[in-house]
Amino acid sequence: MPDALSLHCCWLTAKKFALYKNIRRSYYRNSFAIRIHMKSEIEVFREFIRNKGLRKTPEREQVVRAVFAIHDHFDVDELYVLLRGQNEKISKATIYRTIPLLLESGLIQEAYFEDGHLHYEHIYGHEHHCHLRCLDCGKVVEFTEEIVKDVEGKVGEIYDFLVTGHKLEVYGHCGKCKVHK
């Protein structure tokens, strides 16, 4: 019988598969589930820094902790305000230098929104999702639908293309705003 990891690998993007390599092989069974323990964000980041030959600094780790304390899309200014509110003495320059490392490590990804700022979201340990964005109020709804994965696979077949991922942002008017149209 296939284990949980092999069941998921059939649809994971190449990037997510790389994240699954960070799973500790410490399975234990009870009568209800197989639990897979993943390395913490800090452990993944430390390993990434070590493999890149960079220094592990407390400031970088504080940024990582702050990023994963935010459970929404964020920009650098919001991250800076959060860290300053925790009395952390971290400069915006440190945040700007740490963000590319988090992107390269696969812990976060860019999420573009039309408010003039680049936003980010943490993706490590989360299922891939797409966005619905209201053009009136700016509300963002995350969604995951099997049909999107099906379309991704079908497009790859039609165009003889190995699809490794996608970003989908659907624009429109949310339920509250479409009433006023």
Question: Domains of the chain by range and CATH?
Answer: 1-38 (no CATH), 40-126 (1.10.10.10), 129-181 (3.30.1490.190)
Q: What is the pLDDT of residues 120-133, one digit of tens each?
A: 988 877 777 777 88
Chain segment 47-69, per-residue pLDDT in tens:
999 999 999 999 999 999 999 99
Query: pLDDT class for 73, splitting at 50, 70, 90?
Result: confident
> What confidence score (pLDDT) does residue 101 get?
97
Question: How many CB atoms within 10 Å of residue 58?
Answer: 9
The terminus-to-terminus CA distance of the chain in angstroms comes to 54
Q: How far apart are CA 173 and CA 167, in angstroms?
A: 20
Report the percentage of the chain scoring pLDDT > 90: 36
- Claim: this prediction has a pTM higher than 0.85: no
The residue ranking higher by pLDDT, 3 or 75, is 75
Closest CA to 103 of 124, 84, 82: 124
> Is residue 113 very low, low, confident or very high in pLDDT (cuts 50, 70, 90)?
low
User: What's the confidence (pLDDT) of residue 16?
Assistant: 44
Flag whether pLDDT at 176 surpasses 50: yes
Would you state the torsion angle of the CA atoms of residues 144, 123, 9, 133, taken in this order, to the nearest 10 degrees? 20
Cα–Cα distances (Å) from 152 to 98, 163, 164, in that order, read 32, 7, 9
Per-residue confidence (pLDDT) for residue 36, from 0 to 100: 53
- β-bridge partners, 111: 119
* Token code pair at residue 51: 């493999």
